[in-house]
Amino acid sequence: MTLQGKTLFITGASRGIGLAIGKRAAADGANVVIAAKTTEPNLKLPGTIHSAADEIRGAGGQALALAVDIRDEGAVLDAVAQAVQAFGGIDILVNNASAISLTDTEHTPMKRYDLMNGVNARGTYLCTQACLPELKKAAAAGRNPHVLNLSPPLSMKERWFAPHTAYTMAKYGMSLCTLGHAGEFRKYGIAVNSLWPRTAIATAALQMIPGVDIKLCRKPEILADAAWCILTGPAGATGNFYIDDEVLAGHGVSDLDRYSVTPGTKQFIPDFFVD
């Protein structure tokens, strides 16, 4: 199975992991809806919805660039409508957009708390709700619909909360959507899963965090290939919290060196939330 002719609605796809997933789907000939906020170039965070659309087309797919703040219900509903008008429906939703602040309670202003929970938890819920009618149609048509949340396995251990309670709450909110929606949508034939990296991933956003050595990270393409494996799998595989290297190993990929920022690296920065 491939993603040829499938339509993916990907949040936060102007750069990084979201863009990599879009380009991997485009290589199959997929349609990719880029739902993200960045419309103008930024020296600190390169990539816009328009440059992403160019890369998607260059990779072999069709692209629709939409400026969307996923905290805005009206904007999300309008984006879904535009996606349906352009491509006839939505087969796959990738909830990738996320906000991060690795700060303790004393140093997390409520504005930042609201941003993280608004984008991560609420945004994921809203986009899933907005795309659900189209995903149900895709299921009825036998098009193997999926929702994939870029969120971690749920691990209720103090060490994942204490250093940055607000961020963990917001990120786990995405994972709670996976848990609940997998059960809720199973009767429709819609898969809902989470995907998370074993190691830190080299993205422009990560480079803005002090002290991170990008040379000890993997590239976003490891998540793109793992996502492809999940999204081309059966919709009956639902409610899973996948880790990228485990997904690839399950598909016979054991040599991951091509995903290393620095080839030959053996010790990587571990990502959060992986026990």
- CA distances from residue 119 to 36, 126, 151, 161 in whole angstroms, order as listed: 11, 10, 13, 19
> Does residue 167 have an active-site annotation?
yes
Which residue has tokens 């026990």? Answer: 275
Q: Residue 208's pLDDT is what?
A: 67
Work out the end-to-end distance of the chain between its first and last CA atoms, rounded to an integer number of angstroms.
32
Q: Residue 211's pLDDT is what?
A: 75
> pTM for the whole thing?
0.97
Q: Residue 46's pLDDT is what?
A: 87
Q: Which residues contact 67 (CB under 8 A, 6 or more apart)?
A: 36, 37, 39, 49
Length of the chain: 275
Q: Given the residues 113, 125, 167, 172, select the one marked as catalytic.
A: 167
Which residue has tokens 């739902």? Answer: 35
Per-residue pLDDT of the chain (275 residues; tens, 9 = 90+): 899 999 999 999 999 999 999 999 999 999 999 999 999 988 778 899 999 999 999 999 999 999 999 999 999 999 999 999 999 999 999 999 999 999 999 999 999 999 999 999 999 999 999 999 999 999 999 999 999 999 999 999 999 999 999 999 999 999 999 999 999 999 999 999 999 999 999 987 777 677 789 999 999 999 999 999 999 999 999 999 999 999 999 999 999 999 999 999 999 999 999 99
Q: Residue 174's pLDDT is what?
A: 98
